[in-house]
Amino acid sequence: MTDTHTCLTAKDFTSNQEPKWCPGCGDFSVLQQLKAAMAELCLKTEEVVVVSGIGCSSRLPYYINTYGVHGIHGRAMAMASGLKAARPELSVWVGTGDGDALSIGGNHYIHTVRRNLDLNVVLFNNEIYGLTKGQYSPTSKVGLRTVTSPSGVVDHPINTIALTLGAGGTFVARVMDRDGKMMKEIFKRAHAHKGTSIVEIYQNCPIFNDGAFGPFTDKERKADTTLFLEQGQPLVFGSNGSKGIRLDGFKPTVIDLEASSISKDDLWIHDENDLIKANILSRFFDDPNSTEEFLPRPFGIFYVEDRFTYEAALDAQIDKAQEKGEGTLEELLAGNSTWTIN
């Protein structure tokens, strides 16, 4: 039978619920690009499930016209894992935040990443707890004053990309909420990847942490503070591409291309399949407000690896076990080891 399915539009993925986010919230952009990506991927609404935990970002299932699960705090990854294992044919997306995924859900996050189920994880990082009115989160910057850190945060922030690579991530990316075109394309790449895709989104919270990513969005500064990763292309940034990154052994150095004999051909060429270089890139995490020289913050796809998925391996184990035919409860309880006591 021929599939005569007609691709839907972004409007078809729009639910009858009005998004309840604050004016100026970066979540609106993420929602719009996610719906657009689903439409361009020609997905069917009945074959998509959006799973979330708790937080502003976790309202996502209400606003997309697909199946959805609004779960409990920190457990979005666990619920999505169970769903994917049971129904591997579904396209499963996870909407989660820096608090939901990396604090109370940190354990589930690490083990979901290493198991490599075919999930698409959209991690909204606004460096704050927004829904509960402005407590500091695991990604908040040192010194940030909040209602739970009135004298300033003293915790060192989690580096999401470094953590994900360390946990064995097979698709690791970062985008800005304002860069809709890049976001949509990375969502499409994430869906195409067979394994756990982590897309961290720097998302502005205009009420409780406004301007947290200002150095990367300010028109006068962003050329020098951001680095956009393109497969097979040299690492170039700065006004008119005037700066580049070169490796001195394993140490990245900034090159002034206008004042140097070094050309773009001599720079670090991005390879999203190189784990060692991806780990180095993840450490481009300097404070852009520092008075000292700093490395630009990378955006794009850091790393991609082709590795078997958990659900495929699980299904293969089940199929292998079933080759032996039906067993009995007594055989199952007895197991393969028995002892005779004299």
Q: Give the CATH number of the domain where residue 285 resides.
A: 3.40.50.970
Answer yes or no: is 26 within a domain: yes
| Backbone phi, psi, residue 329, to 5° | -60, -35
Domain that holds residue 87: 10-231+271-304
pLDDT at 51 over 80: yes
| Mean local confidence (pLDDT), 54-64 | 96
**Whether 132 and 174 share a structural domain:** yes
Q: In what order do the strands lie in the sheet with 48-52?
A: 67-70, 48-52, 91-97, 119-125, 197-202, 171-176, 297-304, 226-228
**Whether 149 and 260 share a structural domain:** no
pLDDT at 90 over 50: yes
How confident is residue 328, by pLDDT bands cut at 50, 70 and 90?
A: confident
Q: Between β-strands 251-256 and 243-248, what pairing exists: parallel, antiparallel or unpaired?
A: antiparallel
pLDDT at 4 over 80: no
Choose between 259 and 342: higher pLDDT.
259
pLDDT at 64 over 80: yes
In single-letter form, the type of residue at position 27 comes to D
DSSP codes, 229-249: --TTSB-EESGGG-EEEEEET
Query: What percentage of the chain exceeds 90 in pLDDT?
Result: 89
**Whether 276 and 250 share a structural domain:** no
**Whether 63 and 147 share a structural domain:** yes
Return the H-helix or E-strand segment holding 281. Answer: helix 275-282
**Whether 133 and 243 share a structural domain:** no
**Whether 136 and 173 share a structural domain:** yes
**Whether 14 and 133 share a structural domain:** yes
pLDDT at 230 over 70: yes
**Whether 205 and 174 share a structural domain:** yes
pLDDT digits (tens, 9 = 90+) for 157-206: 999 999 999 999 999 999 999 999 999 999 999 999 999 999 999 999 99
pLDDT at 1 over 50: no
Q: Kindly report the average pLDDT of the chain as a whole number.
A: 95
- Number of domains making up the chain: 2
Per the DSSP assignment, residues forming a β-bridge with 91 are 48
Give pTM, 2 decimals: 0.94
User: Residue 256: how many CA atoms within 13 Å on its side-chain side?
Assistant: 4
Choose between 335 and 275: higher pLDDT.
275
Answer yes or no: is 318 within a domain: no
**Whether 198 and 250 share a structural domain:** no
pLDDT digits (tens, 9 = 90+) for 142-166: 999 999 999 999 999 999 999 999 9
Domain boundary among 211, 245, 269: 269
Answer yes or no: is 311 within a domain: no
How confident is residue 316, by pLDDT bands cut at 50, 70 and 90?
A: very high
How confident is residue 3, by pLDDT bands cut at 50, 70 and 90?
A: low
**Whether 264 and 139 share a structural domain:** no
pLDDT at 291: 80
**Whether 253 and 175 share a structural domain:** no
Q: What helix, strand, coil percent values describe the chain, rounded to 5?
A: 35, 20, 45
| Mean local confidence (pLDDT), 92-104 | 96
pLDDT at 342: 79
